[in-house]
Structure 1
Amino acid sequence: MAGSTWVLWWKDAQGTASLGLLQERLLRGLRATLKGRWSMDTRLFHSPHNFVEQQNIKLPDTARLEPRGTASDQSLYLVVRSQGTLRRHFFVMASNRVVVEAEPEMESMVLRLKNLWTPRQAARIEGYTYEGDDWVIRTGNLMVGTSYKGLVIEINYLPCSNPEKTHGLMCELLLMILPPDAQVDANINVDYRRANLDPTRMTDRHTAYQYVHLFTQSSLL
């Protein structure tokens, strides 16, 4: 999806009640249109191996998943976004700072490489998608394992893909829908350059990287 995206975490949200509050403010206050359900699954894998860092890595390519030595553990995040029948898979290698979109078969490949990648924690977000004239907002309850961890809000401003130029507009939207006393992790200061991503032109890979940044910086995964 084109445009600029901001992912943040409402830490003290109250499940269904908070989702209902956001829905009322979006539908009545902002005249949004409910477009249906959406979900996102994130799985964390660890490896005892240190992998060769490569620029412009393209997965799947098993030759680029060969270990080098036994340095500190490596982390691999699988982000699967689902909207209706559409499912998109993104892999983020945290240590090597690589973000790629892959075919669904890559997930089963990683699961088979048990000597390289060990599944650890998993998170799931389930909620709804709303559309306005020039924005899309997704809201969803966050579960890490079996534990409820608040609510995630994803704001996508469509006309502009530069996050620096859209942050103010997104803040205005957020103030219109959130309670004034909500405890929010704004998930700012994401350094896209570390993942070889253009910081002035966002793509869906940037959004996947934002989720991994939120989960790691907030110690959720």
Structure 2
Amino acid sequence: MPVCDTLPRGVSLASPIALSARFWGSLVLLLALTLGSVSCGGADGSAEAEQFNGTWSFDEERSTDISPWNDLTIEIEASSSRLTLERIWDGYYGVAVNDSMTIPIDGERHRVPMSQWPDNRHIGAFLGADSSKSVSAEWLDDGQTLRVTTHLNVRVSQGTTKIRTHSEYRVAPDGTTLTVLELRSSRPRPIRYTFTPAESS
């Protein structure tokens, strides 16, 4: 007697094969859709990082006073894993200070040499003997916030002290403004800087 004659009515040897084919076909389709959405969404964070890139001009009316400086320009080049940040402080009578650095965005501290400290405004503190700072950078809020933390040793009248600064960079959803919120251990109140794209200034 043929084997197929012993199977229940309506069931054939082809049924498991057909079910298996449909299962693997669905699995392949699901994987393709998943990989496609990851690729389009910028899983490496590069799409989110691009919104920070470019030259940003200081909006004096919406920012904390930066005197004795006259103006401040920020240039950012960021990827998912690396940051180049340049701040150009313009003073009166043509005096300018360029403060720049390039570090990995990995949450780890990295030593950055410095020749001047333009953030020193109206406080009796000066650069320490090592003339360097320790800086870390990391992405927060799914790439919508870039946090830069700086540790610095400075000289004061009583000796040497440490200053820690947390700076959070955020771009508005429409891309028209860059807001920098800065909290420094030596200041009781946070600092707020607002910038607009240089081409629209």
User: Under a length normalisation based on structure 1, what TM-score does the superposition of the two structures give?
Assistant: 0.27
Structure showing greater Rg: 2
- Which has the larger strand fraction? 2
Higher relative contact order (CA 8 A, sep 6+): 1
Q: Output the TM-score relative to the length of structure 2.
A: 0.29
